[in-house]
Amino acid sequence: MEKVTLFYLERPDIKISMKIYFNDKDQLYFDGYDCGKRVDDVWGDSDDEYNYLIEPAEVQKFYPLFGLQDGDKSALLQEIKTRFGVNKAYTLLGEFMQLHNIAFSRFSYT
């Protein structure tokens, strides 16, 4: 299973990791995790987990939007990295999906 890192940062006060990949059910999965003193200062807990889960039928909507060949998962992952591979990847991808009526579920735990 190919996992693409959208953003990664590690400093003494914070570690941020955001990856995107397809799981064994062909769902597109955005996996984010922040931890460290800085997270504790903001949220009152030392770690913050967040994700998106996009069902296969909804994933299909990305291909024409990005001008990609239908079903080319590797190209889709790379295009998502190109467009959203920054510290605000979670927010930007969520806004994009809402704008283009791509249904998704989200989870966040602090």
What average pLDDT is seen over the chain? Answer: 90
Considering the entire predicted model, what is its pTM?
0.87
The residue that leads in pLDDT, 104 or 14, is 104
Contact partners, residue 24, CB within 8 Å, separation at least 6: 1
Q: 3-state DSSP call for residue 45?
A: coil
Q: Are 13 and 38 in contact (CB under 8 A)?
A: yes
Q: Which of 18, 5, 3 is nearest to 88 (CA)?
A: 18
Task: Render pLDDT for 23-56 as a digit per residue (tens, 0 to 9).
Answer: 999 999 999 988 776 655 555 555 678 999 999 9
- 82: number of Cβ within 10 Å: 10
